Amino acid sequence: MTTTATTTTPPVTVSTPSDREIRIERIFAAPRALVWRAMTDPALVAQWWGRGNQLVIERDERVRGGHWRYVEHAGGESHGFEGRYAEVVPPERVVRTFEWDGMPGHVALETATLEDLGDGRTRLVSVSLFHTVADRDGMLHSGMEGGIAQSYAALDRVLATLA
Amino acid sequence: MTTTATTTTPPVTVSTPSDREIRIERIFAAPRALVWRAMTDPALVAQWWGRGNQLVIERDERVRGGHWRYVEHAGGESHGFEGRYAEVVPPERVVRTFEWDGMPGHVALETATLEDLGDGRTRLVSVSLFHTVADRDGMLHSGMEGGIAQSYAALDRVLATLA
């Protein structure tokens, strides 16, 4: 399956390389060092990850073995997300686990790679591996695609302020 | 593959139901309520999980979404293990994630079930599901079988004191 969410910003391409994976691809109109900074500096992550909702970064220890925990506040509700870093290789690669409080124990392993396209743009490829097909399908049908498009559009705006 | 570690205590049977799973079976000569207690009361877990090594239970919130973290101290080294509870159904079922500090991001989902055998004995079946075949094989060849046999022999001794 491959679908493309068309917006006024660059498209997000979502595909399923295997029955337990989701692959997300998005190009950013900014150099890799800047995209890396916007995706790893907690003060900047707080500006785009929540898509306009308040995001509290309780922990974000970006080293191998470090933990992260973000809590998004929206409409009187809070949603926590957390995991642990397996690999942090600036400015190109982060591997970490991802777990939503609403489904504890359902852990995805995310491998995010930033590729310098050589023309001032950067390609992000993120592959998430789930324990089961059901976990993968649950994420796929959670409305994630629209949420990710919104997050990355907000990230575009953060990148514009850094340029 | 099925192998049985023969000791003076009941055997631990280790098998691989699929290429990403490890199944462990062990019978305990104690009623289920007692086995449940010895496997869930932190003060008792500290007496057997570490196989004689000092075990510090930093966290053990046995509710859905709760976290656990155990640190084993041996020979001047410390080894941390942690995860999160997905399901806790006394006295028969616990589902939680399992991650060793030495391989952060390599997370197994463990489903442990206690079956009342009706004759004062209890069967433990624990199935661990890994993200990859390599993770599963790494665990399988880590010497886990001997370690588990030692832990469960220590658990037998704890059960004897509770009987």
- Residue B48 makes CB contacts below 8 A (sequence gap 6+) with B38, B151, B152, B154, B155, B157, B158
Please give the model's pTM, rounded to 2 decimal places: 0.92
Name the pLDDT band for B4 (thresholds 50, 70, 90).
low
The H or E element that residue B18 is part of is: none
Chosen from B67, B84, B98, B110 to mutate, greatest number of chain A CBs within 10 A: B84
> How many CA atoms lie within 13 Å of A39's alpha carbon, on the beta-carbon side?
25
* CA gap B44, B49 in Å, rounded: 9
Name the pLDDT band for B52 (thresholds 50, 70, 90).
confident
Q: What is the pLDDT along chain A (163 residues), one digit of tens a residue?
A: 565 554 468 999 999 999 999 999 999 999 999 999 999 999 999 999 998 899 999 999 999 999 999 999 999 999 999 999 999 999 999 999 999 999 999 999 999 999 999 999 999 999 999 999 999 999 999 989 999 999 999 999 999 999 8
CB contact under 8 A, A109 and B109: no
Mean pLDDT for chain B?
Answer: 94
> What pLDDT was estimated at residue B3?
60
Q: What SS3 state is found at B103?
A: coil
Note whether A109 contacts B: Cβ–Cβ < 8 A. yes
**B70 with B56: CB under 8 angstroms?**
yes
- Beta-bridge partners for B93: B89, B113
For B129, the closest of A64, A95, A131 (CB atoms) is A131
Chain A residue nearest residue B20, CA to CA? A131
Q: What is the DSSP string of chain A?
A: -EEEE--SSPPEEEE-SSTTEEEEEEEESS-HHHHHHHHH-HHHHHHHTTTTSEEEEEEE--STT-EEEEEEEETTEEEEEEEEEEEEETTTEEEEEEEETTSTT--EEEEEEEEE-SSS-EEEEEEEE-SSHHHHHHHHTTTHHHHHHHHHHHHHHHHHHH-
CB contact under 8 A, A105 and B99: no
* pLDDT tens-digit series, residues B111-146: 999 999 999 999 999 999 999 999 999 999 998 999
- The closest alpha carbon to A124, from A112, A109, A107, A111, belongs to A112
The H or E element that residue B134 is part of is: helix B133-140
B-chain residues near A65 (CB < 8 A): 101, 104
> What pLDDT was estimated at residue A76?
93
Chosen from A61, A63, A79, A84 to mutate, greatest number of chain B CBs within 10 A: A84
Question: What long-range pairs does A35-39 form, CB within 8 A, spacing at least 24?
Answer: A35/A91, A35/A114, A35/A122, A35/A124, A35/A159, A36/A90, A36/A91, A36/A92, A36/A114, A37/A162, A38/A155, A38/A158, A38/A159, A38/A162, A39/A94, A39/A112, A39/A114, A39/A155
Residue B150 DSSP class: H
> What pLDDT was estimated at residue A163?
83
B-chain residues near A21 (CB < 8 A): none
Chain B residue nearest residue A131, CA to CA? B131
Mean pLDDT for chain A?
Answer: 94
> What pLDDT was estimated at residue A7?
47
- The closest alpha carbon to A95, from A68, A55, A116, A135, belongs to A68
Distance from CA of B85 to the nearest CA of A (A): 6
Planar angle of CA A11, A50, B69, nearest 5 degrees: 115
Distances (CA, A) of B55 to A131, B42, B48, B69, B121: 29, 10, 9, 10, 27
User: Is the pLDDT score of B80 beyond 90?
Assistant: yes
